Structures are given as structure tokens and as C-alpha cells.
Amino acid sequence: MSETTYASSMGRLKALSGLLLNRDTLLSMTVAKDVADLGKLMEGTPYAGDLTRALEIYKDSDALEVAVNRHFVTVTRLVYQVAPFAGRAPIAAYLRWWDIENVLAILAAKAYGRILSESDTFIVSDRKTPTGFSAGVLSIDDLRNLLAQPSVDAVVQNLTRYGYGVTIMEHLGEFTKTQNIFPITRALEAQYYAELLRSAVFFQGDEWVVRQFIAEEIDTKNILTLLKGKESGVRAEGLSSFFIPGGILPLKQFQDLAQARSIEEIISGLGTGYALTDALTQYREHATLVPFEIALQRRHASMNQERMRIFPLSLAGIFHFLLRARIEREDLRKIIYGKVYGLPADALTRELITAT
């Protein structure tokens, strides 16, 4: 694959950059007085059309979240379409994450007796046409079929055709007994990252940037598992069973850290490379793991965006655009929820990945 082919793709992506918000616009939304005011601000952005259509069916924060999800699907579909053929496999594998998000939401609803409909805002789909690889392999019709199933078992049986059912079945017995969905979550995540790494094969030689991005995202997942497990009192052997292979953090170090007696000991064992000192201070003050999650997400986003910019005429350049879109969606959802719960602008800003 020549750089010329990627030059064509990046030229088309540059034309699509207007679909994303700049940092100042995003941060200005944190000062909205409430959900209604946030909606007015979004009307002056690329989200305007999606918001107008969402308001035909939904209200308040639901309408805003539907608009954000629809816009995300539109952007990712376009990215997939402009990518050169050789780059589409890893992009498709990356976008399967939204399948997992949707599947887990459906499983949780069936397990806990929550009633969902095809119009619920959790679905990452434009609700009009099948999204195909542009937002996972599950189309809107597939999601509707899963929602119509009467039980967790029936959902899992239907998922076998998409490559998810077998993985879930391995943990279905435990889930039935405990109603704990985390083992299924972690198994699906491990499958997802293994397939994503396999898809990012070397072709031009600079695909290592994308593989590094994936490995560091796995590290973030594993570190948060350690912290959450330690806070919840999970035994070391139990934590080790949730390790996701493929990251830079080796299994042996993960197992050693799982033996730590406290959160502070885990942070010390990780060393200074993860820049969690400030988060540890906030943890001591407020007894919440949220600062660690935000710090890890910001570190991952900042490091990889900077690295990807160095290789614009490659798969890394396309993943840089996808990462920006993903961060924007996550931050906008945080802003929406922040306005629902009346979070002050300064507190909300501290939770955003963009605010680095």
C-alpha cells in the first residue's frame, strides 16, 4: 500500500473534519445552564441535523444522547468508506466495540428485568439503516431481533451467528447463579482485543503505531480491573482470571500487583510511567476511583494522538480520526449526564478526556 493511497483517504478525511467539534466548542458546552441550554448550543454545531431528527421522537437528555450516537455512527461509517481496502479490516475490527456495548446492554436488561425497546438511547445505531461494519457487524434489524428475545439464553443463542455466543456461553452458568455480568464483559473484551490485534497486521510497516495504541488501551483496562478489584475485595487469583492479554503490562506483573494490599501499593508498583500521582491524591481525598479512570484515559488519548500525528499517511492517520470521534462521543455523554445531575462546569471539565 503506497502513501499515495493513504494521501487520498486523508484528503477526504480532512474534508470530514468539520463533522467534529474543536476543543473550545466542546469545553464551552460545560457552562450550559441545563440540558435545554446544552441543546441550544448543540444546534449551532454539526450535531444540529441529528438533534432535530431526534427531537421528533425524544425529549430532553434522551434526545441529546440519541443525536450524539447517530452522529457518531454517521462519522464512523464515512471513515470506513474513505479508507483504502487494505485498511478496512482493522477499522471494522475496531468498530466492533459498539457491538459489545449494545450486546452487554441487552444482556443486562434481560437479566435484571429491565424493559428495553428498539428506540432506547443505548443503541449505537442511526435507527434507520443497517450500519454494517461502520458501527460493528450488528445491524439495527439484528439489534431489534435481540431485543425481542424472551431471555438471556435466547439472546446468547442468537448471538452465535455473529461470533459472540460461544464466548458468552462459557460464562453463562456462572452468570445465571450470580447475576454478575462482569465475567461476560471481560471475556467479550478479551475476544475483541485479540481479533483487533490480529487484524492490524503489518503491511506498510508503520502499523505498529496502531498496535501500540491497542496495547495501551488494553493496559488501561487491566489497570482499572486491578484497582476496582482491590477496592471490591476480590481475591488475587480472581483478579488474575480477568487479565486481558495483548497489552504492554505483562501477566506476571499484573499477578504481582493483584497481590498488593492496597490501592496505594498498586499505584506504587506501576511506577511513574502512568502519571497517577495526582489521581492518587484525589482518591485519598474523595475515596473514588474515578480520578484514576480519567487520568488513564487522558494519558492514553494524549500519547496516541501525538504519536499518530507523526504518521498521517498511514493507517495511524485514520485511527487518529476515529479516536477523536470516540473521545468526542464519550465527552459529550459526560456533559449531557453532568447537566442532568446539575454538575458545576469546573467539576464537569475535570472529568472530560479532552480537557488536557
- 194: closest CA among 208, 215, 224? 215
Helix 208-232 × helix 182-199 angle, to 10°: 170
User: Using CA atoms, how far apart are residues 319 and 312, in angstroms rounded to an integer?
Assistant: 10
User: Using CA atoms, how far apart are residues 26 and 345, in angstroms rounded to an integer?
Assistant: 12
Beta bridge partners of residue 132, listed in sequence order: none
User: Using CA atoms, how far apart are residues 273 and 177, in angstroms rounded to an integer?
Assistant: 40
Residue whose entry in the numeric block shows the C-alpha cell 484497582 = 227
| 59 DSSP 8-state letter | -
For residue 17, give the 3-state DSSP assignment: helix
> What's the confidence (pLDDT) of residue 119?
52
Q: How many Å is the maximal CA-CA distance in the chain?
A: 56
Secondary-structure breakdown of the chain: helix, strand, coil percentages, each rounded to the nearest 5: 70, 0, 30
| 18 DSSP 8-state letter | G
> What's the confidence (pLDDT) of residue 131?
35
Burial of 341 (0-12, 13-18, 19+ CB in 10 A): exposed
Kindly report the CA angle at 42 between 37 and 46, in degrees rounded to 5?
Answer: 175
Q: What is the pLDDT along the chain (356 residues), one digit of tens a residue?
A: 456 668 888 888 888 999 999 999 999 999 999 999 999 999 999 999 999 999 998 899 999 999 998 899 889 989 998 888 888 889 999 998 888 888 888 888 888 777 766 556 666 655 443 333 335 677 778 888 888 888 888 999 999 888 888 899 999 888 888 888 888 989 999 999 999 999 987 666 678 999 999 999 999 999 999 999 999 999 998 899 999 999 999 999 999 999 999 999 999 999 988 989 999 999 999 999 999 999 999 999 999 999 998 888 889 999 999 999 999 999 999 999 999 999 999 999 999 998 65
| 310 DSSP 8-state letter | T
User: Using CA atoms, how far apart are residues 174 and 194, in angstroms rounded to an integer?
Assistant: 23
For residue 355, give the 3-state DSSP assignment: coil
For the chain, first and last CA: distance in Å?
A: 35
Residue whose entry in the numeric block shows the C-alpha cell 494524549 = 302
